Structure 1
């Protein structure tokens, strides 16, 4: 059975090297154009090392992470490590590019809606979360950042969260590192955030897109060919849990209100030059709601949006879905 990638996107069959491991409530999948087992093992080891380093730097659920240290010292200047600095820079670029739709200062807001523990614990059917008062984000412009000295200062009470950027950056870093080390084409998918580096297969990497996170691995779905860059799918249906009053809650917040975004889309997939750029755009599209179509159009990014009733819209050169009964 082909593993689902965070149950949003799934890799189609291919003749190349493949390995994977559970990661962050989803699955990491690594493909190489070199099928030699030693190359596959090396690529998997690189992806594991990159994800372990990112987890140590940026996990909100580890009391020993660098992020936990930074959040505990909100209001004070803190010198951070090189990887954390790279994530901060990427997060601030994402915030600027989306006019604050993707904002790294949403940590306290996520905690208030119940996302204060690993997603697997929240998905447990017996768990019901008491919602606290909504906490709007202080805003990315409140972050003082000196890249030269790697010194960061947030406002008192601010909790950073890099969920929309760190996983995608990890995929970009892992794919690039593996391609450099092995001299072959590499695809890295971390929970559905896909990065590609090195020479692609002649027909490109064949990626199956699923718009329903509950879809079984063998359910038909559109397949696209990706030759480079990144592909990301953001969804309001995957990282979802229940509050004590029975309300369904998801993890993508509107930073301005601190409430889960009320998007007309259940899933947005985007391709871009990097996985970070793709993830930034797909997340921003859910926050922007109806305004996403015009915004994505201005960015010139290929995108596929699925409404809650299953209607599919494609733009920017994304191939249309096959007609019902047709070949994906």
Structure 2
């Protein structure tokens, strides 16, 4: 396999364009199909676009204590940690505060009519997990992007992973190391930090 060659495939999921780039062109179709299936499962947990997602079920709980899956509990712990380290600048709870969220292992209770939005952390965790899974399954380097979050895993191409980052009107190309995540556009520093921190735990555990 030559790491000088890359191939990519793209698809849309929940209104977001997903791009899967691999260092082995012979694996691109299978890698993209695998990534799509994995992201579809992930979105069933944290998506705000799907009325059927577990997150939206919690958002309709209106102050009741509800049981949640280990996957959603994990996402909520990451989101609460992000809120804590940014002193609430990145808060997953809408119309209230993360400090009013009652998260106890397999159950959660939202304050009153508050809702949750995990958009600052869940996509970072998802692309990190999918990139790591694709790299392990297909034995190649991979870059996965979704919802302005991009992760890389496995062997890097000869010139490394190059991504475009947008800050307002400024666009620049930067390198992305395997085992890391970046936010590619118009994100406050706090959002970038929590996304990177959320994904770092994924790669550390791999």
**TM-score where L is the length of structure 1:** 0.54
Q: In structure 1, how many angstroms separate the alpha carbons of the residues matched to 2:190 and 2:114?
A: 28
Q: Which of the numbers 128, 153, 174 marks the counterpart of 1:224?
A: 174
Say whether the 8 Å CA contact 1:76–1:154 is kept in structure 2. Answer: yes
Deviations 1:93-139 (A, max 9, x none): 11111111111112xxxxxxxxxxxxxxxxxxxxxxxxxxxxxx321
* 4+ residue segments displaced more than 6 Å: none
Who is 2:72 aligned against? 84
Q: In structure 2, how many angstroms separate the alpha carbons of the residues matched to 1:272 and 1:70?
A: 23
Mapped pair 1:45 → 2:1: no
1:1-328 matches, within 5 Å, as 15-36=5-26, 39-106=27-94, 137-147=95-105, 150-211=106-167, 221-228=171-178, 229-235=180-186, 270=192, 274=196, 276=198
Paired residue secondary structure (2:93): coil
Say whether the 8 Å CA contact 1:195–1:274 is kept in structure 2. Answer: no
How many Å apart are 1:176 and its aligned residue? 1.1
How many Å apart are 1:32 and its aligned residue? 0.9
How many Å apart are 1:23 and its aligned residue? 3.0
Paired residue secondary structure (1:163): coil
How many Å apart are 1:46 and its aligned residue? 2.3
Deviations 1:266-286 (A, max 9, x none): x999589947459xxxxxxxx
Say whether the 8 Å CA contact 2:120–2:191 is kept in structure 1. Answer: no
Who is 2:203 aligned against? none
Q: In structure 1, how many angstroms separate the alpha carbons of the residues matched to 2:181 and 2:197?
A: 4
Q: In structure 1, how many angstroms separate the alpha carbons of the residues matched to 2:186 and 2:195?
A: 20
CA RMSD of aligned residues (A): 2.8
**TM-score where L is the length of structure 2:** 0.82
Deviations 1:20-65 (A, max 9, x none): 11234331111111121xx212221222112212222222233222
Larger helix proportion of the pair: 2
Who is 1:319 aligned against? none
Say whether the 8 Å CA contact 1:17–1:35 is kept in structure 2. Answer: yes
Paired residue secondary structure (2:145): strand
Gapped runs of 5+ residues in structure 2? 201-206
Deviations 1:222-250 (A, max 9, x none): 322222201103427xxxxxxxxxxxxxx
Give the paired residue count: 196
Cα 1:168/1:84, change in 2 over 3 Å: same
Q: In structure 2, how many angstroms separate the alpha carbons of the residues matched to 1:269 and 1:141?
A: 19
